[in-house]
Amino acid sequence: MKNQKDITAILVEFGNGSQKAYQMLFDSVYDELKRIASKQLSKERENHTFSRTDLVHEAFLNMIDIHRIDWKNRAQFYGVAAICMKRLLIDYARKKLTKKRGGDIIKKTFIDELIPGTENAKEIVKLDEALQKLREFDNRMAEVVDYRYFGGLTIEQTSEVLNVSRNTVKRDWAKARGLLYKELKDL
Amino acid sequence: MNTYKYWEEIEKVIDEALLLEEEFRESFIKKKCGQNPDLLTEALEYFSFIKKAEDHNFLQSDSLNTSNLFHDLDFSSLTDIKNNVIGRAIGPYQITKLIGEGGMGSVYLGERNDGEFQQHVAIKFLRGGFFSSYMRKRFKNEKNILSRLNHPNITRLLDGGITDDGTPFLIMEYVNGEPIDEYCFKNKLRIDDRLHLFLQIAGAIQYAHSKLIIHRDLKPENIFVTKEGRIKVMDFGIAKFLSPDSEDSSPIQTREGQYVASFNFAAPEQLFSNESTTTTDVYGLGALLYLLLTGQYPLRLNGYSLSEIESVILHTEPKKPGKITDSTIGDIPADLEAIIMKALRKEPDQRYSSVEMMADDIKRYQNELPVDARHATFGYRSGKFIRRHRSKIAAAVLLIAGLSGIIIYYTTQITAERNAAQHEAERAGAINQFLIDVFETADPEVNRGEQITANEMLNRGVEMAAGLTSQPELQIDMLTVAGEIYLSLGDYDSAFDVTEKALTQAQKLYGEEHVVVAGILNSMGTVLRNNGDYTAAKQYILEALEQRRSLLGNEHPETAASLNNLGVTLRLLGEYEQAQSLYEDALEIRRSVLGNQHPDVAKSLNSLGALFSILGKYEQAHKAHEEALEIRRSALGNLHSDVALSLGNLGIVFSNLGDNEQALVMFEEALVIQQSILGNLHPRVAESLNNLGVFLVSLEEYEQAIEAHKEALEIRREVFGNRHPNIASSLNNLGAALRFAGHLPEARSTLEKAVELQRELLGEEHPSFAISLTSLAFTLRQKGDYEKAHIMFEEALIIQLSALGNLHPRVATLLILFGATLRELGEYEQAFSMYEEALHIRRTLLGDQHPSVAVVLNSLGILLIRLEEYEQAIEAHKEALEIRREVFGDRHPSFALSLNNLGAALRFAGHLREARSTLEKTVELRRELLGEEHPSFAISLTSLATTLQLKGDYKTAEKLLHQALDIQQATLPKDHQRKAVTKSLLGASLAARGQYSEAENLLKEGYQTLSSQLNPEDIGVQQAKNRLEEFYREHGQP
């Protein structure tokens, strides 16, 4: 993993609009989230469970030199981390479904706590497909779902990441859920 | 995705509808779309999906976590149990009836009937379900933990397991009784009886904490009183494995309705993290006591939404129990109110740090002793006082208010030191009351607007303390505290008097050897050190150290404090090696006793770093200060005054290492932090400015340095008044800056003030007085003052030698300055022996490779030129150059300086070619390092020009000298000597190139300026004179 200073610098660069910085940031954050999430549930950590929000937060603290970062950059980090989180969950859900069919026994990791059952893994994969369609129709709505649902970001954080008002996020969130509900549940 | 024909219209309508309250949305849509039935149908359908998504919590952030999934997967839902469970057998127990239902599951009465005796148990089925082996394992662990709890006031866990259909259950001791709140209210118990019950609860919780179990969910429903009047606390740690997956682990974030009661007892930290600690239970106990004494919950949460409830718990202070009028049991005593409010503080670290301490305070109240919870009152009141009167009151009083931190710290220390003594609480309370009394005499509201100085206030306090003869312990404490404050106020004599009195009294009361006596001995040492009596200080601190070692042991923070204190004293005595090993011992103790992250560790690192800086070990200094900074940042946060101190220290190191840019960043950041936390009027801000000023002098930014020192002086005058040692030290530094800038008359009068003030405040035997005297003497180099300077140097030397011995760095510094003055007087032989002695001292104390050694070698090199010992001069400069290369590298201003002087020495020795190339290198290096507008760059130019003149290249010399003069005109004051030298040199060049009249003017002007300022024997005067005479010889005198 790159050290805190590097990541912080990359984040600032990304804040100035560098696409390359985004890719570097994404890769690092993804790795870090995966590293934390894949930690075996060891004996001494048995009592410690992670929510998605916890994970993103821990990744942030691990990776960013908080003394050298302002609030805007922090929001950007959360945005990137949310997308990473989504990627991670979906990758994992797909893997879990495949493994299930193969009958493998996978060791328990923190991710298992985030996706507790096979049922849920299926749902996540289905949701991702529906979200793909939504994205083609209305990108921002899909982004709101990414951040809110997968990243565990609050309305407030989402509005900071997307740089839109909180009311806009609230509306997009409601509308997107309506559309997805129709797509997934209205059988 | 989108199947709607009228999407654009629909979206617009929906966007607007979503802004409305829920109940109006549908009618709004109908109204808006009424004209177009197709649009209406589509809009309503879409709206219905939005509503369904909302109602089903679709994609709500917690729907991914286990709770919904449990419902899908859990084949043994609670309803099933409810219907089937009665009559079933769980182990040896028969389930007979449902006795309770709650968020965590249902509780049944179980009976064991084996003919001989009957036993009742409570069987608790836990909601949630255990579908993974991991969960089962965890459940088993928790069960094991709970079974360790064996306390008369805690319900015993008898057994537990998982039913065949997967439902976990616990078999508990059955309690026949009622919840504590009902019991208290129904029986109309008196306060004392309620406290009696409460202390039983506290005892149980304390016991559990000793087994590392935190309850986390204290509330009346979990605390029963049996028929026999005994407390039974149940459900320990249950919340923890009730719903352990992801976000639901805290007891309050479960489904609406079920747990709302728990919000009333939930500590703020429980809302957002699972990090419950023992202080979480302190909060729960506080809330419980609140309820038991007032009949109300601490916070009003009824009718609020979830997010509003969160905000109330996080931000709203509970109404003071004493203010609740409809209390069922009469008035709540102020002490109990204070206890409850301390337990209910929002910040965990502001609460009682343990349940035991809370219980102790209640017992103290019961025994009519002052309670700990009210200690905070002093800080609270002084804080309020400052806020009220920030603009009105005298700055001196503000200082005292700022000292309340010291006072509180000190009184806590006193209490801690005397834990063994009886009635310590009483005394601590009395100290606070006493301080408040003293303090309020300064409050204009109490004092009818008169202004009172800090000193008057303190004198009054000491007078009041003198009347405390019936309470000798309190009297000793007060005198000791007064000593600390006098010390901060710079009144060292009074500090000495009261501390000595405290010591005598303490020795009478406690005997010669006692922790309190040791503490005062330590303070005595500090007072004496400030008084300049380092040797006596050393004796006292040594004694304190010995006592602490034997009474408290080697591995004790107080012992470490004495070690550090002794280290400071020895450092001032110049005994660096010993000081270093003392600092290191203190550091080691602090690391092992307090942990690596403790602020006291940072303090030790700070002392050590400062010493390393003195010793020229800059890398080590850098490391120590960096670590101190890290510790302080993580322990105290970024915006803290101590963090700024560390930044300042790092700045000093960077400045020594020649990284001026980095140093400036550090000094400025330190200053900004201090100003933003402490305001502009604070001694630490002055200290920051002072550091900055000293640094700016080293950068040769004299005017800015003067500004910084003047500002520091102003602040110190505001805060300390006109008569404080710190004022003298500011005057001294300001004077030095003025001297460097060439403002000699002003420098002189400033330094004279410093000397006078120190003579008065510190006496004529104080080393600090000697320092100012030296500085003044060095400034008196104008014509006619040499004799005075000479006398002053001698006086200072005698003071330093008797205070510090002859092997001390300050003696060396004095000898160098004395030597420089003698050099200018033409007393070369005497100057030479001074330099030699200084060199010997520094080599011995600091080693051969120290930059301070290079400084002496440099001065010696210059002197040797006067003595016409050119080859020796070259040797001296070469050695200085190598030291500087070693320590600073070859891209450092000091290195450039040595290069310049080496070049000059080579020129005098007649090695012109070598001189020229050396000086050319110097010019280049200074151009790079300092820029083309720097006075030192100008010096290099004149030096090179002189060499070129000797080689006959007057044309290039003239060019260089013009450039030098331009720089000096812009940067130096009017009659500066260096400018005069340059003019004289330029005159010589012009004469050689035939521009006689301009040459004559410059030669004359240069000589006159120099001879008016310097002794006729001075080599600069001599050379200027020679140049002028040579001109007249060749071109005739007018």
pLDDT for A15 beyond 80? no
CA distance B18 to chain A (A): 7
Q: Which are the contacts of A119, defined by CB distance < 8 A and separation ≥ 6? A: B69, B72, B73
Q: What is the ipTM metric for this complex?
A: 0.76
B734-788 pLDDT per residue, tens: 999 998 887 888 999 999 999 999 898 888 888 888 989 999 998 886 556 778 8
DSSP string, B726-791: HHHHHHHHHHHHHHHTT-HHHHHHHHHHHHHHHHHHH-TT-HHHHHHHHHHHHH--STT-HHHHHH
Contacts of A46 in chain B (CB under 8 A): 138, 141
Q: Which of B59, B246, B274 sits opposite A114 (nearest CB)?
A: B246
Confidence category of residue A118, pLDDT binned at 50, 70, 90: low
- A180 and B240 in contact by Cβ < 8 A? no
- A116 and B65 in contact by Cβ < 8 A? yes
Domain parsing of chain A, residue ranges = 4-184
The predicted pLDDT at position B1037 comes to 67
- B61 and A148 in contact by Cβ < 8 A? yes
Q: What is the mean pLDDT of chain A?
A: 71
When pLDDT is averaged across residues A59-75 and rounded to a whole number, the result is: 61
Contacts of B246 in chain A (CB under 8 A): 49-52, 113-114
**A contact residues 60-119, partner B, Cβ 8 Å cutoff:** 67, 108, 112-117, 119
Q: What is the mean pLDDT of chain B?
A: 80
Q: Which of A50, A116, A185 sits opposite B66 (nearest CB)?
A: A116
Indicate the range of B441-445, B507-511, B944-948 predicted with least confidence.
B441-445
When pLDDT is averaged across residues B606-623 and rounded to a whole number, the result is: 88
CA distance B129 to chain A (A): 13
Confidence category of residue B917, pLDDT binned at 50, 70, 90: very high
- B49 and A186 in contact by Cβ < 8 A? yes
Is residue A139 within 8 angstroms of chain B, CB to CB? no
- B50 and A183 in contact by Cβ < 8 A? no
> For residue B96, with 0-12 CB atoms within 10 Å meaning exposed, 13-18 middle and 19 or more buried, which class applies?
middle
Is residue A149 within 8 angstroms of chain B, CB to CB? yes
pLDDT for B944 beyond 90? yes
Going by C-alpha positions, the residue among B863, B868, B774 that lies closest to residue B824 is: B863
How is residue B183 written in tokens? 């019991």
DSSP string, B591-642: HHHH-TT-HHHHHHHHHHHHHHHHTT-HHHHHHHHHHHHHHHHHHH-SS-HH
Q: Name the pairing type of β-strands B177-179 and B118-126.
A: unpaired
Of the spans A96-100, B467-471, B521-525, which averages the highest pLDDT?
Answer: B521-525
When pLDDT is averaged across residues B257-279 and rounded to a whole number, the result is: 64
Q: Which of A127, A137, A186 sits opposite B2 (nearest CB)?
A: A137
- A177 and B240 in contact by Cβ < 8 A? no
Q: Which of B58, B132, B244 sits opposite A49 (nearest CB)?
A: B244
B230-256 pLDDT per residue, tens: 999 987 755 444 333 333 333 333 333
Of residues A83 and A57, the one with the higher pLDDT is A83
- Give the H/E segment covering residue A82: helix A71-102
When pLDDT is averaged across residues B781-807 and rounded to a whole number, the result is: 82
DSSP string, B373-428: GGTHHHHHHHHHHHHHHTTTS-HHHHHHHHHHHHHHHHHHHHHHHTTTSTTHHHHH
When pLDDT is averaged across residues B167-176 and rounded to a whole number, the result is: 81
The predicted pLDDT at position B396 comes to 36
Spatial distance between the Cα atoms of A125 and A139, rounded to a whole number of angstroms: 19
When pLDDT is averaged across residues B132-158 and rounded to a whole number, the result is: 70
pLDDT for B356 beyond 80? yes
Neighbours of B855 (CB within 10 A): 22
pLDDT for B328 beyond 80? no
How is residue B488 written in tokens? 């901060």
Confidence category of residue B609, pLDDT binned at 50, 70, 90: very high
A contact test, residue of B64, B133, B629 with most A CBs within 10 A: B64
Indicate the range of B225-229, B366-370, B598-602 predicted with least confidence.
B366-370
Q: In the A/B pair of chains, how many CB contacts fall below 8 A?
A: 108
When pLDDT is averaged across residues B107-123 and rounded to a whole number, the result is: 78
B637-674 pLDDT per residue, tens: 777 788 899 999 999 998 877 777 888 889 988 888 78
Spatial distance between the Cα atoms of B364 and B372, rounded to a whole number of angstroms: 9
Q: Which of B49, B131, B246 sits opposite A182 (nearest CB)?
A: B49
Residue of B nearest to A123 (CA): B64
Q: Amino acid identity of B764?
A: E
B484-516 pLDDT per residue, tens: 777 776 778 888 999 999 999 999 999 999 988
Question: What contacts 24+ positions apart, CB below 8 Å, involve B227-230?
Answer: B227/B176, B227/B177, B229/B197, B230/B152, B230/B153, B230/B200
Confidence category of residue B311, pLDDT binned at 50, 70, 90: confident
Supply angle C-alpha A53, B314, B101, rounded to 5.
80
The predicted pLDDT at position B103 comes to 45
- B53 and A53 in contact by Cβ < 8 A? no
CA distance A20 to chain B (A): 30
Of residues B1036 and B791, the one with the higher pLDDT is B791
When pLDDT is averaged across residues B61-85 and rounded to a whole number, the result is: 37
When pLDDT is averaged across residues B382-394 and rounded to a whole number, the result is: 38
Please report where in the chains the tokens 């890719």 appear, as a residue: A23
B701-716 pLDDT per residue, tens: 888 899 999 999 998 8
Contacts of A175 in chain B (CB under 8 A): 11, 14-15, 18, 50
The predicted pLDDT at position B326 comes to 59
Q: Which of A51, A137, A177 sits opposite B53 (nearest CB)?
A: A177
Contacts of A114 in chain B (CB under 8 A): 64-65, 246
Of residues B716 and A119, the one with the higher pLDDT is B716
How is residue A183 written in tokens? 């797509």
pLDDT for B37 beyond 60? yes
Residue of A nearest to B633 (CA): A67
Of the spans B801-810, B875-884, B992-1001, which averages the highest pLDDT?
Answer: B875-884
Q: Which are the contacts of B483, defined by CB distance < 8 A and separation ≥ 6? A: B495, B496, B498, B499, B502, B523, B527
Residues in chain A, total: 187
Q: Which of A119, A127, A179 sits opposite B1 (nearest CB)?
A: A179
Percent of chain B with pLDDT over 90: 33
Indicate the range of B50-59, B445-454, B746-755 predicted with least confidence.
B445-454
When pLDDT is averaged across residues B343-369 and rounded to a whole number, the result is: 85
Going by C-alpha positions, the residue among B875, B1005, B743, B926 that lies closest to residue B943 is: B926
CA distance A134 to chain B (A): 6
Of residues B78 and B545, the one with the higher pLDDT is B545
Helix (H, G, I), strand (E, B) or coil at B275: coil
Rounded to 10 degrees, what is the CA torsion of B344, B348, B352, B354? 120
Contacts of A67 in chain B (CB under 8 A): 633, 638
Dihedral sign for Cα B237, B243, B246, B252, please. negative
- B54 and A177 in contact by Cβ < 8 A? yes
Residue of A nearest to B56 (CA): A181
Residue of B nearest to A108 (CA): B134
When pLDDT is averaged across residues B844-864 and rounded to a whole number, the result is: 90
A contact test, residue of B61, B63, B249 with most A CBs within 10 A: B61
Q: Which residues of B touch A (CB under 8 A)?
A: 1-2, 11, 14-15, 18-19, 46-47, 49-50, 52-54, 56, 58-59, 61, 64-66, 69, 72-73, 131-132, 134, 138, 141, 240, 244-247, 249, 274, 633, 638
pLDDT for B414 beyond 50? no
The predicted pLDDT at position A36 comes to 64
Percent of chain A with pLDDT over 70: 55
Indicate the range of B17-31, B688-702, B960-974 predicted with least confidence.
B17-31
pLDDT for B395 beyond 60? no
Contacts of B646 in chain A (CB under 8 A): none
Of the spans A133-137, B159-163, B274-278, B394-398, which averages the highest pLDDT?
Answer: A133-137
